Chain A
Amino acid sequence: MTQLVTDIICPFCGTLCDDIEVEVSDDGKKIIKVTNACAIGAEKFLHAQSPDRIVRPRMKQEDGSWKEVTYDEAAKYTAKILCDAKKPLMYGWSSTSCEAQATGHMIAELVGGVVDNTATVCHGPSLIAVHDVGIPSCTLGEVKNRADRVIFWGCNPAHAHPRHMSRYSIFSRGYFTTKGSKSRKIIVVDPRPTDTASVADYHIQIQQGRDYELIDALRVALQEGPLPETVAGVPKEKIYDIARLLKSGRFVTIFFGMGVTHSLGKNHNIDIAIALTADLNKYTKAAIIPMRGHYNVTGSGQVLGWQFGFPFCVDLSRGFARYNPGESSANDLLMRGEVDANFVIGSDPGSHFPFKSVKVINELPSVCIDPHMTPTVAVSKCHVPVALVGIEVGGSCYRMDNVPIESRKVVDPPAGMLTDGEFLELVLTEVQRIKGVAA
């Protein structure tokens, strides 16, 4: 007999869908079928069961081959490289629980490390903008129930957050949006005619990198001010039309993604998008939400925020928290050769950092805590496989709209495998021993 486990949280993207159903074998060890999840979420659950999964820590040998070690040995190596280093980089944190993050930050404080999370290649500029100008935001529940004008600016949820549109932003029926997509006008701003644009009412094919100009033009158009014939490749009539459409709505929500944060202008693009949202509140109700990527990148920002006062790139090397994106951020530190040990958890900089940074990691004493084989593992000296949060162990996570959700355990991890939290506890104990600090 199989059992059905319901109300599972999907630990892949910031949508943090909470309605996944998983059929497991009666001994609770094997996942048989995943329903309700999108293709990416389902694959995440199924890959946990992969027969070639690496289940024990290992150290890279001189010839590049791997040698199995115990968790204790791996923890000792990790503690040693962190304690020996003057400025270790402790990067990632976005695919693990808030509890594990909190333990990791205790280690970072003791060793004087720099803690940075994946926002640094994702929504870091958004966080800088929020510091500069604040943010009028709302929850995804409000979007579902109220939003009748939805903008996707530089994001493509059809590919990156596949169930976002059906659960919250386009097709879902809410209290004041009883007709689903017919209750809403959807606008997509993207230099490509994306799959999200194909289900929208309006696609604005902006020239890549010209977001600031177009948002500024929309602010002018809200007041019916003068505009040149085209802005960012968009004719002025279309800009006036969109401004009127937004003003006529009861509840506008702007979702924005990497198209804005990765392009030149960066945090300034978001400053002005937030200013546009604030302007819209003179005519109607408006909110703006970043489309966060990893399922708990928002949680990492929250935990760092309540522990140290800053949401990413926190430098603890002087014994107190400093924050200066561009200086204390992972890629700048790596490319300038300012770190002397590298620690990665819950992310894959080997795939997602510019190669110039990856090459530096390859030369450093380094550890990568990751359930699977990745390019980061390939360039690290020690690999520690762990149980998957949200599948093999529970833990708190924050959805993209800053709502905390408790993820659940579905099946047991492979026998003898530790969780992130348990491994970090081992490292913490060893660091305390080396530093002569009472536990």
Chain B
Amino acid sequence: MTKITVNLITGRTIQQGVSMEAGKEKEDYMKSCGIIELDAVDIAKLGIWKNSNVRVVSDFGSVVVKAIEATQGPHPGLGWIPMGPWANMVIDTNTYSTGMPTFKGTPVTIEPAEKETVLSSIDLVLNACKE
């Protein structure tokens, strides 16, 4: 199976803000934040259709999200998951004595995961707590 490696960053999007204010337990929040924005060339390298599910894996964890084409691009080699529980499954937890985890600049690998589902924020967190 094809895998690619990208540099992952997270942050706000307006859809993240609006859907979070409309209720983090709702489907809209998952649709806005349970995604990874990838460059068209990276999607091609991965050999998947746009809008299909992928598994993102780092040294710190793994998560299933939907791969979409970057809305603010191009930025080959850079992956973007809006801030939220999905991104926080894989970001670099090291704070290097500042209190601040390293939310931007985590190397991740991405592989196709068409048969896996993207979980809602609440299920994602509760299921992972059981593991």
Which A residues contact B (CB, under 8 angstroms)?
Answer: 12, 38-40, 43-44, 46-47, 50, 116, 120-121, 124-125, 128, 156, 158-160, 162, 191-195, 197, 205, 208-209, 258-259, 261-264, 266-267, 312-313, 325-327, 329-332, 335, 348, 350-359, 362, 372-375, 378-379
A258 with B88, Cβ < 8 A, contacts A121-B100, A331-B95 known = no
Contact A44 B11 (CB under 8 A): no
* A375 contacts across to B, CB distance below 8 A: 24, 85, 121-122, 124-125
Q: In the complex, which residues of chain B have a beta carbon less than 8 angstroms from the beta carbon of A267?
A: 98
Bound state CA distance, A330 and B125, in angstroms? 19
B95 touches A332 (CB 8 A): yes
Q: Is B1 an interface residue (CB 8 A)?
A: no
Query: Shortest Cβ distance from A399 into chain B, in angstroms?
Result: 18
Q: Are A329 and B129 in contact (CB under 8 A)?
A: no
Q: Which chain A positions have C-beta within 8 A of B18?
A: 39-40, 43
Contact sample, A vs B, 24 pairs, CB 8 Å cutoff: A40-B14, A124-B99, A156-B72, A158-B14, A159-B14, A162-B14, A193-B74, A208-B7, A258-B11, A258-B103, A262-B100, A264-B102, A266-B98, A266-B100, A267-B98, A325-B98, A325-B99, A326-B95, A326-B96, A331-B100, A351-B83, A351-B85, A353-B88, A355-B61
Nearest chain B CB to A232 CB, angstrom units? 13
Q: Is the CB of A125 within 8 A of B125?
A: no
Which residues does chain B contribute within 8 Å of A258, judged by CB atoms? 11-12, 103-104
Q: Out of A12, A46, A192, A261, which one reaches B73, CB within 8 Å?
A: A192
Which 8 pairs of residues, A with B, have the shortest CB-CB distance? A329-B99, A326-B97, A40-B17, A325-B99, A262-B103, A160-B12, A43-B21, A262-B104
In the complex, the chain B residue whose C-beta lies closest to that of A348 is B24
Q: Which one of A124, A160, A197, A351 contacts B11 once the chains associate, using CB atoms below 8 Å?
A: A160
Give residues 101-131 of B contacting A (CB, 8 Å): 101-105, 121-122, 124-126, 128-129
Which residue of chain A has the shortest Cβ distance to B124 in the bound complex? A375
B72 touching A195, Cβ below 8 Å: yes
Instruction: Decide: A313 and B121 in contact? CB cutoff 8 A.
Output: no
Interface residues on B, range: 35 or more
Tell me whether B84 and A209 are in contact (CB under 8 A).
no
Please name all residues of chain B whose beta carbon is closer than 8 Å to the beta carbon of A354 when the two chains form the complex: 60, 88, 91, 93, 101
Measured in the bound complex, the distance between the Cα atoms of B102 and A307 in whole Å is 30
| Chain A residues near B21 (CB-CB < 8 A) | 12, 40, 43-44, 47
In the complex, are the beta carbons of A359 and B128 less than 8 A apart?
A: yes
The reply to whether A351 and B102 form a contact with Cβ atoms under 8 Å apart is no
Cβ of A262 and Cβ of B102 under 8 Å apart? yes
Residues of chain B having any CB pair with chain A under 8 Å: 7, 9-14, 16-18, 20-25, 60-61, 70, 72-75, 78, 80, 83-85, 88-89, 91, 93, 95-105, 121-122, 124-126, 128-129
Contact at A193–B104, with CB atoms within 8 Å?
A: no
On whether the beta carbons of B100 and A120 are closer than 8 Å, the reply is yes
The CA-CA distance from A125 to B101 in the complex, in Å, is 11
18 more contacts with CB within 8 A, not counting A191-B78, A351-B20, are A12-B17, A38-B14, A50-B23, A159-B17, A192-B73, A193-B73, A262-B102, A262-B103, A312-B99, A327-B97, A350-B85, A351-B88, A351-B121, A352-B88, A355-B85, A355-B89, A356-B93, A374-B24
B24 touches A156 (CB 8 A): no
Question: Which B-chain residue is minimally distant from A258 (CB atoms)?
Answer: B11
Q: Are B95 and A379 in contact (CB under 8 A)?
A: no
B125–chain A nearest beta-carbon distance, Å: 4
How far, in angstroms, from A353 to B99 measured CA to CA in the complex? 11
The answer to whether A332 and B99 touch across the interface, beta carbons within 8 angstroms, is yes
- Does B88 lie within 8 Å of A326, measured CB to CB? no
Instruction: Give the distance in Å from the alpha carbon of A63 to the alpha carbon of B7 in the complex.
Output: 40
Determine the chain A residues whose CB is within 8 A of the CB of B95 once the complex forms: 326, 329, 331-332
Which of A44, A128, A156, A194 touches B98 (beta carbons < 8 Å)? Answer: A128
In the docked arrangement, what's the CA distance between A355 and B125, Å?
8
A378 touches B11 (CB 8 A): no
Report which of B60, B78, B129 forms a contact with A208, defined as CB distance below 8 A.
B78
Query: Within the complex, what minimum Cβ distance (angstroms) separates A248 from chain B?
Result: 30
Interface contact B25-A373, CB-CB below 8 Å: yes
Q: How far is the CB of B21 from chain A (nearest CB, A)?
A: 4
Cβ contacts under 8 Å, A259 to chain B: 11, 104
